[in-house]
Amino acid sequence: MIATSLPKDWATDNGVSAGSVIEFYPEDDALLLTPKSERERTEGRTDVADLTGDELVRAVMTMYVSGFDVVRLESGRITTDQRRAIREAVQGLVGVEVLEETNDSVVVQDLLDSSELSIRNAVTRMRLIARSMLEDAVTALVEDDDDLAQDVVERDEDVDRLWYAVARIFRTTLRSPLAAEEIGVPREDCFDYHSSARQLERIADHAAKIADHALELDAVAPEVTDALGELHAEAAAIIEEAMDALFTDGDDEATDLANAARAGIPEVEERTRDADDVIREVDLEPRQAQSLGLVVDSLSRAADYGGNIAENALQRAAPTP
């Protein structure tokens, strides 16, 4: 047993006194300490009497991301529309189910232990889905394939589901050193994965927007499809290289990959200008030209988000002070 002196205010606030057991967690050259406690499932309550539709969906998702294992949604009377919104929210989250329903409350529970979830695997899955969505969205536009475009739109929900799971894991590690130890990922890495997951979620959103335009547009002129194909290839290469850099453990290799990804941004900007010029030169209806311009913008933004991931990879590979 080691005797140690702790700040009085901290000890009082955390119920620590002489003889209390505290736990130490190594983090690089530092030690984090916390009062010893058993991992208990946390329950949160929220009044949803005035919430309906999207507001209620967001309330459920916010409680989930905040780390509550059990969420009790209470009202004087839970309406049919509220129950429908709650079910919609539950379907959009990983491992969450409705546990109990009464006239005045609905209880939802996260059935997965955070230690069983891999933040790295979740981000990897997001990468694969977002990449395929972007490729398929452009293919649907070029080939006028409405079925493929609709499939891309629906896949966006899978990415959102994973994004909420990543956000939940990240916030849990911020609150508890034990959580970071359980998932086996340093908290700084969790931050980089969380930041990159946000970029992937945005890439998926833009893929879904391109798919929406594909559903509205008829066959596109070959000159335009060629320009879009070239722009997509450059954007996709940046995203892939940036993600490779993020997941590479060798600092030098990760830095080289991230810098290479960042170096591709000027090429994307040039391809963007080329695509805009082609759209202006081809005889198109104003509405079609506007939609194609938005497609170009979405591809350009996707590349920018890839550049942001590369920045995260550079930070992860940088020496620590």
User: What pLDDT, in 10s, does the model give residues 94-127?
Assistant: 989 999 999 999 999 998 765 567 899 999 999 9
In whole angstroms, what is the distance from residue 117 CA to residue 164 CA? 12
- At 186 the pLDDT is 86
pLDDT at 196 over 90: yes
Amino acid at 15: G
* Whether the Cβ atoms of residue 57 and residue 88 lie closer than 8 Å to each other: yes
Q: Which amino acid is at 171?
A: R
Contact 254, 313 (CB under 8 A): yes
Q: Say how many C-beta atoms besides its own lie within 10 A of residue 55's C-beta.
A: 11
User: How many helices and strands in the chain, by DSSP H and E?
Assistant: 11, 6
pLDDT, residue 2, reads 54
Between CA 309 and CA 257 the distance in angstroms is 11
Q: In angstroms, what is the C-alpha Rg of the chain?
A: 24
Selected residue with higher pLDDT from 116 and 309: 309
Place of tokens 């908290």: 187
Position 231 scores a pLDDT of 97
Helix (H, G, I), strand (E, B) or coil at 283: coil
Between residues 178 and 264, the one the model is more confident about: 264
Could you tell me which residues come within 8 angstroms of residue 249 by beta carbon, excluding any fewer than 6 positions away? Answer: none
pLDDT of 225 > 90? The answer is yes
pLDDT score, position 41: 72
Q: Work out the angle at residue 50's Cα, subtended by the Cα atoms of residues 45 and 51, and round it to the nearest 5 degrees.
A: 75
- Which has more confidence, 276 or 22? 276
pLDDT > 70: what percent of the chain? 85
Distance CA 245, CA 255 (A): 7
When mean pLDDT is compared across 1-15, 155-169, 195-209, 250-264, the lowest value belongs to 1-15
Q: What's the whole-number mean pLDDT along residues 292-312?
A: 98
* pLDDT of 71 strictly over 70: yes
What is the rounded distance in angstroms from the CA atom of residue 65 to the CA atom of residue 54?
16
More confident residue, 105 or 321: 105
Poorest-pLDDT segment among 20-24, 87-91, 298-302, 303-307: 20-24
The answer on pLDDT for 188 being more than 70 is yes
Say yes or no to pLDDT of 263 above 90.
yes
Q: What mean pLDDT do residues 39-54 have?
A: 87
252/256 Cα distance (integer angstroms): 6
Structural domains for the chain: 1-37 (no CATH), 43-110 (3.30.110), 115-317 (1.20.58.220)
What average pLDDT does the chain have? 88
Q: β-pairing, 30-35 with 22-27? A: antiparallel
Better-predicted residue by pLDDT, 10 or 96: 96
If we measure between CA atoms, which residue out of 150, 103, 160 comes closest to residue 129? Answer: 160
